[in-house]
Chains A and B, each alone.
Chain A
Amino acid sequence: AQSVAQPEDQVNVAEGNPLTVKCTYSVSGNPYLFWYVQYPNRGLQFLLKYITGDNLVKGSYGFEAEFNKSQTSFHLKKPSALVSDSALYFCAMGAGGFKTIFGAGTRLFVKA
């Protein structure tokens, strides 16, 4: 069965430090993977996606994600965190057509 897991409910990082938000997936075949971000009182916003090709995907607001097929992971990264990056982050997987399977979400706190 297809699934997405975000093993951390919350990630805390100091401003200026690198951040990583973890995501693992389970699927037979090649995955389509996404990251979305949800700021307070806002809907989810698309950050980036992996379809095929380069394992390092660059997205909005300086975020990038690394696809690792052997570890079935798609971790979200940023070299230098900002306080304004504090939000709820969702990893997701395309499950055919428009169907999208979402992880439970990881709350990122960036402390000044």
Chain B
Amino acid sequence: EAQVTQNPRYLITVTGKKLTVTCSQNMNHEYMSWYRQDPGLGLRQIYYSMNVEVTDKGDVPEGYKVSRKEKRNFPLILESPSPNQTSLYFCASGGGRSSSGANVLTFGAGSRLTVL
């Protein structure tokens, strides 16, 4: 089954304790992205990657890091989490011609993070 898999699905942590949220896709998609979802704000893009070793900032990158060492994996790293990073996080991937602008994204089930 074509899917995007995120782990963990739920996490409660404390301020300053480094954590990583993993994301893996099995569709051979070149594009992968991380979003955070907050009430009333919709989805805001954190980071994205057009291919292996190619990453770029989205709209809200502060406090986050990413890496893309393999095509299928795109982990999100919070080096020193703070309470304002409490949110619902989604990983997404996309395939097809990147120039079209009409590309459909496939989303993971989400990771709910609470930082105390």
- Could you tell me which A residues sit within 8 Å of B by CB distance? 9, 32, 34, 36, 41-46, 49, 51, 90, 94-100, 102-105
- Report the Cα distance A9→B90, complex, angstroms: 21
Q: Which 9 A-B pairs have the closest CB atoms?
A: A43-B107, A94-B101, A104-B42, A32-B102, A102-B43, A102-B42, A44-B107, A98-B31, A97-B98
* Number of interchain pairs (Cβ within 8 Å): 62
Number of interface residues of B (CB under 8 A): 27
Whether A90 touches B105, Cβ cut-off 8 Å, given contacts A97-B98, A98-B33, A98-B48, is: no
Which of A43, A49, A90, A104 contacts B110 (CB under 8 A)? A43
Whether A44 touches B90, Cβ cut-off 8 Å, given contacts A102-B42, A104-B40, A104-B42, is: yes
- Report the Cα distance A104→B107, complex, angstroms: 17
CB-CB < 8 A to A96: which residues of B? Answer: 101
* Residue pair A49, B107 in contact (C-beta under 8 Å): no
The answer to whether the Cβ of B81 comes within 8 Å of any Cβ in the partner chain is no
* Residue pair B109, A51 in contact (C-beta under 8 Å): no
9 additional contacts, CB 8 Å, given A43-B108, A46-B106? A34-B104, A51-B102, A90-B42, A94-B100, A94-B103, A97-B98, A97-B99, A98-B94, A99-B48
Residue of B nearest to A52 (CB): B102
The answer to whether the Cβ of B4 comes within 8 Å of any Cβ in the partner chain is yes
